Amino acid sequence: MRGEEMKASVRFDTQFHAGEIDRRIFSGFLEHLGRAVYEGVYDPGNALSDEHGFRKDVLEALRPLAMPLMRYPGGNFVSCYNWRDGVGPLSERKARPDFAWKSIDPNTFGTDQFMQWAKKLGTAPMMAVNLGTCGATEAAALLEYCNLPKGTYWADERAKNGHADPYKVKTWCLGNEMDGPWQAGHVPAEVYAQRADQAGKMMKGLDGSIELVACGSSGRFMNTYMEWDRRVLEYCWEHVDYISAHRYSSNSRNDSAWYLAEGLEIDRVIEDYAALLNYVRALKKSNKRLYLSFDEWNVWYRETSGDGGWKTAPHLLEEVYNLEDTLVCAQYLSSFVRHADIVKVACLAQIVNVIAPILTRKDGLLIQGSYYPFIAYAQHARGKALTPMVTAPLYKAGERGEAPMLDVASAYQPESGEAAFFLVNRDQHTDLTVELSFADAAFAKIADVQVVSGPGPKVANSWERHDVLKPSAGEALVMDNGRARVRVPKLAFVCARGIVSRT
């Protein structure tokens, strides 16, 4: 039905949930790639930068996203990166070629600069070690530099570089996408598992408080998907805490109806990992639980050239995000919330210029549409991840068959009664009136409704028009029976917040 309004309903029970939402699912990723670091977060000499060279406007734009972790320095970049090139006096650092992106890195932004920038932003570092062209010894040396108190060689070097106190990095990635033939130092799963296990033992031997993320598959497109992960988990189970998942969504076929049902595939990937983790745990008869770190996710398909032409800060992967991309990004976040029992870390890849919600020029920045749903989840998805029971009309989603028009996630804080509802209308033609109700509670009020929508799936913000996609006030009401109705326009993301009281 086109041009009409249809009804949907969502039922909740405050006792029926996937557990506590881990705030780290709203984390980010900063890689030495294109203009992410240089001309992105770091631009010395620019009038918009502070005394350390950090772009103040970028920091101000990122702070509302409230990202608990920031993964660094890569990504593909890390697999041929020598972290020692990025520490010490700036005048003594050498420029190096980057195998991954065919660029030149001047190394003027390294570990210490990143730690200082992360502190200014209010995020915690999530460091990746090079297990492509380096190994356990170098990984342990970086951990020593970051986490140990003075009294050892690399800890003393950190102090000599002006940072007496340890950085106390908690979360560490054991390499990046080592299943990928494009990766420097790519090896079969068995070889990577040995490297990761050796590095993990050494690193935890130096600091037993850390958590480790083993490389999982680069995506469902890999022939070794799940088989790689199984072999790695079976070998490394006792010394790692997470397995990583990566996914980049694409509408290269230009089929919006198909693309807008991308949330179904995101759910499937997470459920694949849940099944695998349970299988390996059972196989090992282990009491230990491992979780998922979905530490690269986003839309990426238009700007795919990875050839930087051996330049410093080349323009690479600078995607422009439209409304349908924004709605897909919202579906990633809803899936992470719904699967709070398995997804404990997730990193938007990336944060500025490179496949990012923020683009910079020398004189300012542009906020893209995907920025706004992220803020809504990061600020309001707190407490328990309620399990939604959805009744919604279906629409034709191309090769995906029929898909629900409505995608839903919800968060509930028992102590205060605050609840947040994240709704995506995937359909391009039909508005929805959604009735929200609880089996064991009633709405006291709806406090706020914000909508991100537009006249078509391809509309986007631009340097000429910054406000095509931005939040606006939505419509909702609380009925006498304690239920609430929320209007979800076609092609829209809605965040509704309210207070519910247990009955």
Residue numbers annotated as active site: 177, 296
Q: How far apart are the C-alpha atoms of 275 and 377, rounded to whole Å?
A: 26
Tokens of 377: 């989840």
- For every residue of 8-77, DSSP letters joined together read EEEEE-TT-EEEEPPGGGGEEE--SSTTSTBTTTB-TT-TTB-TTSBBHHHHHHHGGG--SEEEES-SGG
Question: By CB neighbour count within 10 A (0-12 exposed, 13-18 middle, 19+ buried), where does 405 fall?
Answer: buried
Can you read off the two tokens belonging to residue 59?
Answer: 């920091």
What's the burial of 399, exposed, middle or buried (CB within 10 Å: 0-12/13-18/19+)?
exposed
Report which secondary-structure segment, H or E, holds 128: strand 124-129
Specify the DSSP class assigned to residue 439: S
The angle at the Cα of 170, spanning 136 to 335, to the nearest 5 degrees, equals 105
Cβ-count burial of 279 within 10 angstroms (0-12 exposed, 13-18 middle, 19+ buried)? middle
Do residues 384 and 363 lie in contact, with contact meaning Cβ atoms separated by under 8 Å?
A: no
Crossing angle of helices 371-380 and 323-338, in 10° steps, is 20
Which residues, in sequence order, are CB contacts of 438 under 8 Å at separation 6+?
11, 12, 13, 14, 482, 500, 503
Residue 63 CA to residue 374 CA, distance in Å, equals: 12
Contact of 144 with 206, CB cutoff 8 Å: yes
- The H or E element containing residue 444 is strand 441-453
- Residues 227 and 216: their CA atoms lie apart, in Å, by 10
CA distances (Å), 61 to each of 32, 333, 369, in order?
A: 20, 19, 13
Q: Starting at the edge strand that comes first in sequence, how are the strands of the sheet with 472-473 ordered?
A: 17-20, 384-386, 406-413, 418-425, 492-502, 441-453, 472-473
**Under DSSP, is residue 174 helix (H, G, I), strand (E, B) or coil?**
strand
Q: For residues 124 and 169, give the distance between their C-alpha atoms in angstroms, rounded to a whole number.
A: 8
